[in-house]
Chains A and B, each alone.
Chain A
Amino acid sequence: MTVNNTIAHQRLILTGDRERFKDLLMRRLIECGWRDQVRMLCREAVKENEGGNVNFDTLVSRVTPRARALVPDTVKKELLQKIKTHLLTPKD
């Protein structure tokens, strides 16, 4: 199963469609205000860390799980649908 996933992933990267999806997702997340929420999360993480000197790894490990949970369902559904249809449509 994971082999299938990696194959599909590799195919997207090869065709350059992955970048398109990534741009789309980024645009959607900015539109819905997710980016500002993540910025707030980062600030909180910095404040929690005394001294203000934050390692990037700790920042990622603290922020990423919460940021993933904050992604709106509509955006996620839209992206999944588009990727799926893209996978199913054969290329000439």
Chain B
Amino acid sequence: MTKIVSELSMNDLNIKFFEIMQNENNAEEAASFIFDSVCDDVTLGFVFEFHHGLKTGLTDLIEGEKEEDDSFKIVNSPECDVFGLSVLKKTQDTNCVCPNCDRPVSATRFAPHLEKCMGMGRNSSRIASRRIASNSREPTSYAGLLSDDEDDADWAGGSLHTERRKRRIKNNNSRKPAKVHKNNSSRTNNGTTNCDSNDGGATYETMSANEKKNLLLQICGVVSEHTKKLCTRSTRCPQHTEEQRRALRNSVLEPSTPESQTMGLTADDAGSPPDSSPSSSCSSSSRKRDRHRAPPKLKGKRERNISPNSRD
């Protein structure tokens, strides 16, 4: 019974439904209603999907990790560069003060400096011990001066200076008899200028006038008061003053004054240097002395004088 009724009702409903749907408005309205519900379903489905991905971390896996923007931002502040690093220069406190000479030394150069300054390294200690030995052997009046100049040589550094020192030491040893002789005989021997000029006169004396001129055109030529050698550097060497050079040229090229003018010296300055007059008088007095030992020594001295030139 019920089944029949239901079948009837289904049929009835169908018929009724089509009757209603024949109306255009009803059909459209029903269609839009159905569309809305379907559309809601679809939207909800998508949102579900997204929410599921979000909660389970699927979205992150699919889309990949987001890049950090912070690391690529350009830092825009006055005391930093674009990477955010400080551009301020390193301050003074990186410098160390040498305990020996009280000079400020950069930390990176401190070890090399100590090696030089205190004679701690291999080469330096050898040189320093030799220096100490030579100092103790002749505690002369110019010991104070010597230490000052030696420091300068240390600071300039380089193999040339060490070579020069070795030569100086050799020089000192070989010169000992002469020194004794000089001390015994001299009346006006009272300081460094005297022995300088003495030595300078002796070395220059072994040359002819032409040789002297050529030599002095090329090198500074000032006689060092410690090494007692000619300065073999250029005529503009910074260790000796223009005054010293002029004085030496005056004393050495004394007999021929026009030559000194060809050396680039002005005539009005020629008489002014204070060293010139005592040295010249001294050299004349010492020439007699040197004549005794000049011939046998001449060969060795020539060699020693010429070798620096050829090297330069």
Q: Smallest Cβ distance from B147 to chain A, in angstroms? A: 77
B34 within 8 A of A: yes
Q: A residues within 8 A CB of B39?
A: 25, 68, 71
Contact bitstring A59-89, B, C-beta under 8 A = 1, else 0: 1100110011001000010011001100110
Residue of A nearest to B44 (CB): A60
Q: Smallest Cβ distance from B200 to chain A, in angstroms? A: 92
Residues B27 and A11 in contact, CB atoms below 8 Å apart: no
Contact bitstring A2-34, B, C-beta under 8 A = 1, else 0: 001101110110000010011001100100000
Q: Smallest Cβ distance from B169 to chain A, in angstroms? A: 83
Residues A29 and B42 in contact, CB atoms below 8 Å apart: yes
> Cα distance A7–B35 when bound, in Å?
14
Instruction: Say whether chain B's binding surface is mostly helix, strand, loop, or mixed.
Output: helix
Q: B residues within 8 A CB of A46?
A: 54
Residues A38 and B38 in contact, CB atoms below 8 Å apart: no
Instruction: Say whether chain A's binding surface is mostly helix, strand, loop, or mixed.
Output: helix
Q: A residues within 8 A CB of B40?
A: 64, 68
B20 within 8 A of A: yes
Residues A12 and B34 in contact, CB atoms below 8 Å apart: yes
Q: Smallest Cβ distance from B307 to chain A, in angstroms? A: 86
Binds A, one of B45-53, B76-84, B157-165, B184-192: B45-53
Residues A5 and B33 in contact, CB atoms below 8 Å apart: yes
Category for how many chain A residues contact B: 35 or more
Q: A residues within 8 A CB of B47?
A: 38, 42, 56, 59-60, 63-64, 67
Residue of B nearest to A39 (CB): B50
B284 within 8 A of A: no
Residues A4 and B46 in contact, CB atoms below 8 Å apart: no
Residues B17 and A7 in contact, CB atoms below 8 Å apart: yes
Residue of A nearest to B45 (CB): A26
> Cα distance A55–B20 when bound, in Å?
43
Residue of A nearest to B30 (CB): A8
Q: Smallest Cβ distance from B51 to chain A, in angstroms? A: 5
> Cα distance A26–B46 when bound, in Å?
9
Given A59-B51, A63-B47, A67-B43: A84 and B38 within 8 A (CB)? no
Q: Which residues of B are in contact with A by a Cβ distance under 8 Å?
A: 13-14, 17-18, 20-22, 26-35, 37-48, 50-51, 54
Given A4-B26, A46-B54, 6 more A-B residue pairs with CB atoms under 8 Å apart are A4-B20, A5-B29, A5-B34, A63-B47, A84-B31, A88-B18
Q: 3 tightest A-B contacts by CB?
A: A8-B30, A5-B33, A83-B31
